[in-house]
Each structure stands twice: as structure tokens, then as C-alpha cells.
């Protein structure tokens, strides 16, 4: 049996909606098994016996893993994987992969776009033109804020954070950052606390991953430290922000503006943020270009192919890097 024929016998579970290009590749390479959502109650006896891999946007919890005793690998579509119980996966010798690097530049571009939108109020200026206000009322009001003279802080100096920092340097902004630990060899000023970073800058960009350690890390105290001229941008995870505190800070002038691509309970966006005139809001489109999503899809499926042919992953997440394939 050839390697291609071997792969055709491997059952890959795809719960819910998935990327079309990834589905095409899975269908041509593996035996795709579809399920409405990642729910153990929907797992059949045949799935229990046959499924060896999962390709998914959605979170995969411990119960779902336990329902599939022959599961070897979870190929998560995206760089963030906080919705996958990686601790349980590691304990059960299940490999988890994600799709880093291929979306870095696209997300960094979006972060800069959000920052400029929030500072210069460009979406409302475009609406002013489109709805005829320019003709009826004259020029759009001057923007109160500018990028000039700003100091930027990045919460989460990983691949995407570094790409954003390099873009900010081109705009002439000094950059500082906060991480769980200082990045060796990186020249940007490091702050051991998020509040300390906020106190030192007036522009805070969050690229932090989700999870218990970052839950509502951007809170009222941090926003107050950012100050009345402060601008907050979130391109990471909505769970890292206390959205009620953010809405209050925007309403009472604690900070000046915010640009958000992610929210705690997507696609539900708090009304207070929707109504705020000093926000620029996007529907989680940081990596949403055909070019980048295709690259993410390829990496997701390439991880499956590499695992079931070479018995090694291409981009394992840190928590499962020591998981070894059986046989």
C-alpha cells in the first residue's frame, strides 16, 4: 500500500463549519468524517473506533477527547488554541498543532489599521462622505487624536507582537512591552507588569493569548494607568479584557479611544461598545484574507499529513511538544 493509500484510510473528524480549501484537501487525502459540532453526544461507535485526527476551528474539550479513544492529533486552525484543553491532550498523549507564522503579517497589518482608525476616526469620516454630510455640512471635524508623539506598548511580544512593533517603529513610535517574561536579546523596554507598561505609554496594543492567566488582564486599573489620552487596541483575544470596564473608561474619558477586532462572547458585542462614538470595531477579521486563510488551511492539513506519514508534527503547540506518535 502506498503512502497516499494509507492516508485514505485515516479518519479525520471535522466538527461544524470549516475552511473550504482545508476540506478539499482533507477529502482528497483522508477519510473525512463530519459532525455538526464538537459534542461527545454526537460521537458514534464507528467514530470511536476509527477517528484518529481532528481538524477544527472550534474548541475541543477533555470530554470530546475522551470520546475518541484512538485520537492521536488535533489540528487547530489558527494561532490561538486556548479553546483546546491542551493539558488533557498532553496527559492522553494527543498531539495538538496550530497555524503560527503564516498569519503574522496579516494580523499585524490589521492591528495598525485599527490603531489608525481609532486615532484618526477614519470610519466615521468615510461615513460622513458617503451619507452626503460633506456636501450638506462641510468638512469633517478635525480629529482630536494623532499618532504623532505617541508611545506604544505591546501586551504579548510573540511573533505577531514583534511584527506590530516593527511597523510602529516605521511610524516613529517608541515601543515597550509586557510579557510573562522578558524576551532575551530584544531591545524594546520591558515592563514586568501590565500596569507598569500602561503607565509608561499612551497606546496599548494587546496581542495576548486567552486563558486563565490573562482573563480580564486589561481591567479598570490598567485602563486608568493608560490615561485620558490613551488608545487601546485588541487584536488578541476578547477574554483578556474586562469589557464592562473598557466601556466605562471610554464613556467617562478615562481613555480616549479603542480599536477592537475581538470580543469575549463573539459574535455578541456589548451594546455599550457598539454605541461608543470613540471605538473602531471589526468582526474578528485579523487574518481574514483569502491569501492568509489559504496558507493557514494548508498548514493545518500539512500537520495532519506529516503526522500520519512521518509521525511528526510541523507546528506543535508548546504544551504537547513532547507527545510522541505510537508505532
Q: Is 266 designated active site?
A: yes
Is 124 among the catalytic positions?
no
178: three-class secondary structure by DSSP: strand
Contact at 8 Å (CB) between 240 and 212? no
Side-chain-facing half-sphere of 232: CA atoms under 13 Å = 38
What residues have CB less than 8 Å from 132, skipping those under 6 apart?
none
Per annotation, catalytic residue among 32, 120, 124, 284: 284
Q: Which three cell numbers stand for residue 181?
A: 517574561
Active-site annotation holder among 266, 310, 311, 312: 266
Q: Which residues contact 139 (CB under 8 A, 6 or more apart)?
A: none
CB 208 within 8 A of CB 155: yes
Quick one: DSSP state of residue 241?
B
169 counts as catalytic: no
Rounded Cα gap, residues 271 and 251, in angstroms: 12
CB-based contacts of 273-276 (< 8 A; 24+ apart in sequence): 273/243, 273/246, 273/247, 276/247, 276/250, 276/251
- DSSP secondary structure string, 30-87? SEEEEESSS-GGG--HHHHHHEEEEEESS-B-HHHHHT-TT--EEEESSS--TTB-HH
Name the CA radius of gyration of the chain, rounded. 22
ω into 267 cis (within 30 of 0): yes
> From residue 65, how far is each of 35, 142, 153 by CA, in Å?
14, 55, 38
* H-run or E-run covering 204: strand 203-206
- Catalytic residue chosen out of the listed positions 106, 237, 243, 293: 237
For residues 42 and 34, the answer to whether their CB atoms sit within 8 Å is no
Catalytic residue annotation: 237, 266, 284
Amino acid at each position: 500500500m502506498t503512502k497516499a493509500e494509507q492516508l485514505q484510510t485515516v479518519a479525520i473528524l471535522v466538527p461544524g463549519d470549516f475552511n473550504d480549501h482545508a476540506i478539499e484537501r482533507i477529502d482528497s487525502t483522508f477519510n473525512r468524517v463530519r459532525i455538526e459540532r464538537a459534542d461527545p453526544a454526537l460521537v458514534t461507535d464507528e467514530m470511536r473506533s476509527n477517528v484518529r485526527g481532528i481538524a477544527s476551528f472550534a474548541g475541543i474539550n477533555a470530554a470530546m477527547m475522551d470520546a475518541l479513544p484512538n485520537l492521536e492529533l488535533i489540528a487547530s486552525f489558527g494561532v490561538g488554541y486556548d479553546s483546546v484543553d491542551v493539558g488533557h491532550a498532553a496527559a492522553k498523549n494527543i498531539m495538538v498543532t496550530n497555524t503560527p507564522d503564516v498569519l503574522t503579517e496579516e494580523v499585524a497589518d490589521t492591528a495598525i489599521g485599527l490603531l489608525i482608525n481609532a486615532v484618526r476616526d477614519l470610519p466615521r469620516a468615510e461615513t460622513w462622505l458617503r451619507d452626503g454630510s460633506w456636501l450638506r455640512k462641510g468638512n469633517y471635524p478635525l480629529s482630536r487624536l494623532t499618532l504623532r508623539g505617541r508611545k506604544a506598548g505591546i501586551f504579548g511580544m510573540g511573533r505577531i507582537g514583534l511584527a506590530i512593533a516593527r511597523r510602529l517603529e516605521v511610524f516613529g513610535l517608541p515601543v515597550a512591552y509586557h510579557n510573562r517574561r522578558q524576551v532575551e536579546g530584544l531591545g524594546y523596554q520591558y515592563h514586568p507588569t501590565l500596569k507598569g507598561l500602561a503607565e509608561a505609554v499612551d497606546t496599548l496594543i494587546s496581542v495576548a493569548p486567552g486563558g486563565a492567566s490573562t482573563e480580564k488582564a486589561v481591567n479598570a486599573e490598567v485602563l486608568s494607568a493608560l490615561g485620558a489620552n490613551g488608545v487601546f487596541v485588541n487584536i488578541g483575544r476578547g477574554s483578556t479584557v474586562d469589557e464592562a470596564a473598557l466601556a466605562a473608561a471610554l464613556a467617562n474619558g478615562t481613555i480616549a479611544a479603542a480599536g477592537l477586532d475581538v470580543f469575549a462572547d463573539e459574535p455578541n458585542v456589548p451594546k455599550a461598545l457598539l454605541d461608543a462614538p470613540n471605538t473602531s470595531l471589526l468582526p474578528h477579521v485579523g487574518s481574514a484574507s483569502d491569501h492568509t486563510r489559504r496558507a493557514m488551511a494548508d498548514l493545518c492539513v500539512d500537520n495532519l499529513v506529516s503526522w500520519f506519514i512521518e509521525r511528526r508534527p510541523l507546528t506543535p503547540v508548546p504544551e504537547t511538544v513532547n507527545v510522541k506518535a505510537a508505532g
